Amino acid sequence: MAVVHPFRGIRYNLKAVRDLSLVVTQPYDRIGPREMEAYLKRSPYNFVRLIGGKTPPQDEGDYARRAELFQAWLRKRILLQDPRPGIYVYHTHFTHDGERFVRQGLIALLDLQESRAKAHERTLRGPKEDRLKLFRATEAHLEHIFLLYRDPERRATRAVEQAIAGRAPDMEARDDFGNAHLVWYIPDEKAIQTVQETLAPLDLYIADGHHRFETARAFMQECLDRGWRPVGPESFTALPVTLVNAAEPGCVIRPTPRVVHSLPGFDLDRFLTDVASGFRVDPIGSLAEAKQRLRAGLGRNVFVAYAGRRFWALSLRPDADLDELVPGDRSPAWKRLDVAILHKAILERWLGIDEEALARQTNVDYTHTAEEAVAAVDEGHGQIAFLLNPTRVEEVMALADHGEPMPQKSTDFYPKLLSGLVAMKMEIEKP
Contact 79, 228 (CB under 8 A): no
Classify 7 as helix, strand or coil: strand
- Helices assigned H by DSSP within 241-316: 268-275, 287-296
pLDDT tens-place string over residues 18-77: 999 999 999 999 999 999 999 999 999 999 999 999 999 999 999 999 999 999 999 999
Contact 183, 171 (CB under 8 A): yes
Beta bridge partners of 423: 10
Classify 302 as helix, strand or coil: strand
Query: Mean pLDDT, consecutive 10-residue segments, the chain of 431 residues?
Result: 96 96 97 97 98 94 98 98 98 93 97 96 88 98 97 95 96 97 97 97 96 97 98 97 95 96 95 95 96 92 97 94 89 94 95 86 92 97 97 95 91 97 98 91
What CA dihedral angle connects 132, 39, 148 and 341, to 10 degrees? -90
Cα separations in angstroms, 417 against 79, 145, 239, 289, 429: 19, 8, 15, 32, 31
Residues 6+ apart with CB under 8 A from 3: 110, 111, 114, 115, 196, 200
d(CA 427, CA 219): 14
Cα separations in angstroms, 337 against 96, 386, 393, 395: 22, 15, 12, 8
pLDDT of residue 408: 85
- DSSP assignment of 151-174 equals -TT-HHHHHHHHHHTTPPPSEEEE
- DSSP assignment of 336-383 equals TSHHHHIIIIIIIHHH---HHHHHHTSSEEE-SSHHHHHHHHHTTS-S
pLDDT of residue 98: 86
Contact 87, 192 (CB under 8 A): yes
pLDDT of residue 286: 96
Contact 254, 238 (CB under 8 A): no
What's the full length of the chain, in residues?
Answer: 431
Going by C-alpha positions, the residue among 77, 413, 124, 89 that lies closest to residue 243 is: 89
